[in-house]
């Protein structure tokens, strides 16, 4: 049976979508929850006249980021719910699979903080994974994010009702995700530096058995459905 996510347009590089929706050249950008800052690094290769301030709450990932500097990229330790930056300093804020990681009671506050650090007319780009699809079914064995992903969308709805926002674009799409083997999946998804999923031998065996049918000679290939909402600050 064809699932709804199987019919979504496939986007190999989300930066292409971002460039379609936003003028990026020469912009001051803040990334809230940057991880390894892969998107920021890719953006700066295309637009070296940009400046990106990338925030991360995971101290281990932050240390890795500091050890791999790049021109135009400034790393800071901090969360979206309390951005350690002055008002109205940025043209664009983006949250890439990070809003649902903000503590649930603080999600609306985080969106308020994003509004505070944006200049009038600035944009907030929020891209969130959808709670659907085979990859999601694997992950929910050890990390069921149904509640927090729904809360992230509800927080955006509330921010639109009560905050200085207008939604100017909304897209649903899918991105390819590949794992070389189960060890790669375990490292990236089951044992991230920012969370302890309490993986024991029984859970490892259960997820390994569920992963095996997806894996072939060239690894396991998935598509992850995504939901993008682009907001503009009044």
Position 1 confidence tier, pLDDT thresholds 50, 70, 90: very low
Q: Does the structure show a pLDDT above 60 at 2?
A: no
Residue 87: count of CB within 10 angstroms of its CB: 11
Please enumerate in sequence order all residues whose Cβ is within 8 A of that of 153, keeping only pairs 6 or more positions apart, or say none. 128, 227
List pLDDT tens digits, range 107-138.
Answer: 999 999 999 999 999 999 999 999 999 999 99
List pLDDT tens digits, range 171-206.
Answer: 999 999 999 999 999 999 999 988 999 999 999 999
What are the structural domains of the chain?
Answer: 4-178+225-233 (3.40.50.150)
Question: What gap in Å lies between CA 116 and CA 223, rounded to an integer?
Answer: 34
Average of pLDDT values for 37-46?
98
The DSSP call for residue 70 is B
Question: What gap in Å lies between CA 199 and CA 105, rounded to an integer?
Answer: 26
Question: What gap in Å lies between CA 152 and CA 146, rounded to an integer?
Answer: 10
Q: Does the structure show a pLDDT above 60 at 5?
A: no
Average of pLDDT values for 57-73?
97
Mean pLDDT of the chain: 96
Model-level pTM? 0.95
Average of pLDDT values for 136-160?
98
pLDDT of residue 107: 98
Average of pLDDT values for 74-101?
98
């Amino acid at each position: 049976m064809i699932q709804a996510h199987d019919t979504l347009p496939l986007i190999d590089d989300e930066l292409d979508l971002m460039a379609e929706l936003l003028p990026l050249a020469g912009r001051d950008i803040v990334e809230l929850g940057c991880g390894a800052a892969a998107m920021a690094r890719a953006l700066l290769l295309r637009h070296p006249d940009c400046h990106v301030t990338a925030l991360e709450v995971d101290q281990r990932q932050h240390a890795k980021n500091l050890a791999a500097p790049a021109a135009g990229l400034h790393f800071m330790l901090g969360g979206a719910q309390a951005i350690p930056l002055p008002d109205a300093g940025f043209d664009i804020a983006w949250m890439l699979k990070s809003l649902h990681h903000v503590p649930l009671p603080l999600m609306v506050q985080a969106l308020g903080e994003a509004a505070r650090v944006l200049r009038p007319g600035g944009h907030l780009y929020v891209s969130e994974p959808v709670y659907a699809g085979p990859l999601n079914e694997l992950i929910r064995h050890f990390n069921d994010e149904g509640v927090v992903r729904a809360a992230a969308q509800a927080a955006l709805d509330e921010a639109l009702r009560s905050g200085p926002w207008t939604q100017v674009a909304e897209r649903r799409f899918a991105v390819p995700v590949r794992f070389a083997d189960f060890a790669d999946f375990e490292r990236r998804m089951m044992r991230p530096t920012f969370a302890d999923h309490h993986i024991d031998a029984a859970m490892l065996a259960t997820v390994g058995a569920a992963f095996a049918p997806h894996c072939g000679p060239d690894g396991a290939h998935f598509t992850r459905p995504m939901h993008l909402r682009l907001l503009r600050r009044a």
